[in-house]
Amino acid sequence: MEKRQRTRKQLIEYLWGTGIEIGALHKPMDLTGANVTEVLYVDSLTLEELRNHYPELNDLPLVTPDIVVDGTTLATIEGESLDFIIANHLIEHLDNPLLAFESWCGKLKQGGVVFMAVPDKRYTFDKPRPLTPLHHLIDDYESSDEERVKRNRLHFVETAEVIEGRVGKSSQDRVNNLIARNYSIHHHVWTFESFGDVLDYVIEQMQVPYEILDYSSPLPGDNEFIFILSKGTNGYREALENFPTSSGRVVSVWAFFPRVKRDLNLLKNEGLRSFIRKFLDLIIGE
């Protein structure tokens, strides 16, 4: 995937309507200038539980979760109810990322987006860790919850030994402590390039109906890359099918707004050729 650089500020133009941010903690997304109606904050723990889980954040203001639910499945959130999901520096904490991509897509409306910033291991404390191979994520996805808990021990060992440099009993004690607390570590690590392979698998092999609207490789001096994923394709064609006909079906012009805005962004960011390709897909179909 070709590298290109966008700031979060530039990319929030893809966010609109009503949505959620998962795992904001003390760094909720700055949505100034975004066409967002409402954002609800989601976490797997209550505010009090978050304070106990992250004592290192005690001096920082934490966002109070509006919805307490597992961030992988979002089980209590109605399907196809969200215009956007923000998941910044979250996916690396999940022990089943492929399931998360699948679940999140089910919660989005057609044309809804996932905004995700992900740490690039080369620029974080994860630098000495080996990249998470794709087959590991597939095994996580295909494992039972019980099997995955056993597999996760390796990630806690990497935290203690590779990141923190512990050995022997110190490492064992640290691993046992982290597991007992179910502490939220980085289960998986990627680079910008390797994460692109993950998305390719999700879209092409798992057939989860995302398309990559935009992205940014890490900016100089920063440690994250960003991907904007949209649920579904051919949003114009679906809307056109609902225009007034002899049967009297009518659709509001606002049904076009999300897709129009995003394709205008495509024209601005990628140029006329990409825009024409999208337009021809609309006119003549696939």
- Considering the domain architecture, whether residues 204 and 107 belong to the same structural domain is answered as yes
Residues 220, 282 share a domain: no
Give the domain range for residue 281. Answer: 234-286
pLDDT tens digit sequence for 143-183:
999 999 999 999 999 999 999 999 999 999 999 999 999 99
Residue type, 248: G
73-88: burial string, b at 16+ Cβ within 10 Å, e else: bbeebeeeebbbbbbb
Clarify whether residues 146 and 198 are in a common domain: no
146 and 264 fall within a common domain = no
Task: Using alpha carbons only, give the angle 223, 226, 232 rounded to the nearest 5 degrees.
Answer: 165
Are 166 and 118 contained in the same domain?
no
What is the average per-residue pLDDT within 249-258? 36
What is the total count of domains within the chain? Answer: 3
Q: Are residues 103 and 207 in the same domain?
A: yes
What are the pLDDT digits (tens) for 26-63? Answer: 999 999 999 999 999 999 999 999 999 999 999 999 99
Q: What is the CATH number of the domain that holds 36?
A: 3.40.50.150
| Spatial contact of 132 and 140, defined as CB atoms under 8 Å apart | no
**Last residue within a domain, chosen from 120, 155, 181:** 181
Q: 282 exposed, middle or buried (CB, 10 Å; 0-12, 13-18, 19+)?
A: middle
Same-domain status, 89 and 198: yes
Residue 279 banded pLDDT, cuts 50, 70, 90: low
Residue 92 and residue 228 share a domain: yes
The DSSP bridge pattern shows strands 82-86 and 67-68 to be unpaired
